[in-house]
Amino acid sequence: MNPSAPASQAAREACGRWFLANRSVEAAPNDPAALVGRAASFLAMDRPWEATNDLDRALRMQTRLAGADVAAAGDEATANQRRRRHDGEAARTRLLRGHAHAACLRYDRAVADFAEAEAILSRLGGSTDRSQPTPAHAQAGLGVAYCNMRDWQRCVDAGERAVRGLPLDDVARRHVARAVETARQHLSLAAGGTVGGSRRSGGSAAPPQPPPPPPR
C-alpha cells in the first residue's frame, strides 16, 4: 500500500469540501455561515491566511446582522434570545479565527480571539451539548498559544483551567495538557529544579502545535 495514499485521499476530500463551501460563498457573499464554512475548509487545507480573511469578513457581517436582528425584536425576551444566539455564533467564529491566527504564528492575535471567546462563552453559561464549544475550549487555545509564546506561567494558568473543564476524550484536552507539561518543565528549570529526576540544560523544547478547532 502506498503510504501517501491516505494523505492524498484526505487532500482530495478537503479540496472537495472547499469547492462546495466556495460555491456557497459565491452564491451569498455576505452570509457569515458560508464564510465560516469556507474558512474551515481553508484551515483543513493548511491555508490559514485565507481562513483569517474569511473570518474577518464573517465577524463584521455577524456584528451588522446581529444589531439589525436584535433591534427588530418585538419584545425584550425575544431580543435577549436573539442576542444570545448571535453571541454564540460570534464566539465560535472567534475560536476558529484564534486557531487560524495560531497557524499563522500570530499568537498575540490568537490570544485576543481566544480570550474574547472565553468571555462570551462564560457569559452565556455552560452547555450540555458536546457539539458546542465551551469556555474550556477557549482556555485550551489560550494555553497552547501562551506555550508557543513561551509565556510559561500563563500557559499553566489557562491550561489547568481547560484540563479541568474538558472531557477526558477531548482532543483539545490532550494538546493543552502537553502544553502545560512543557510549561511546567521550563518553570522548574528556571527555578533551579529538575526534570525527570535530573537537571537539564540547553534550548527550549519545541512547543506543541495548536489544538484543532473545537467540534461544531
CB 195 within 8 A of CB 185: yes
Name the 3-class secondary structure at 138: helix
| Greatest distance between any 2 Cα atoms in the chain | 67
CA angle (86 as vertex; 80, 91 as ends), nearest 5: 125
pLDDT of residue 198: 43
Distance in Å from the first CA to the final CA of the chain: 33
What are the per-10-residue average pLDDT scores of the chain (216 residues)? 65 84 92 95 94 97 94 92 94 97 96 97 81 92 97 97 94 95 94 57 50 52
Distance of alpha carbon 119 from alpha carbon 3, whole angstroms = 43
User: Rounded distance, CA 214 to CA 104, Å?
Assistant: 18
- Give long-range contacts, CB 8 A cutoff, 24+ apart: 22-30: 25/54, 30/61
* pLDDT for 41: 94
Alpha-carbon distances of 168 from 136, 142, 143, 156, 176, rounded to whole Å: 12, 19, 17, 18, 12
Cell 474551515 appears where?
40
Q: Do residues 175 and 207 make contact, with C-beta atoms less than 8 angstroms apart?
A: no
Specify the pTM: 0.84
Q: How many CB atoms lie within 10 A of CB 60?
A: 13
- Three cell numbers written together for 214: 473545537
CB 165, CB 134: distance < 8 Å? yes
Measured CA distances, 2 to 7, 14, 15, 16 (Å)? 10, 19, 20, 22
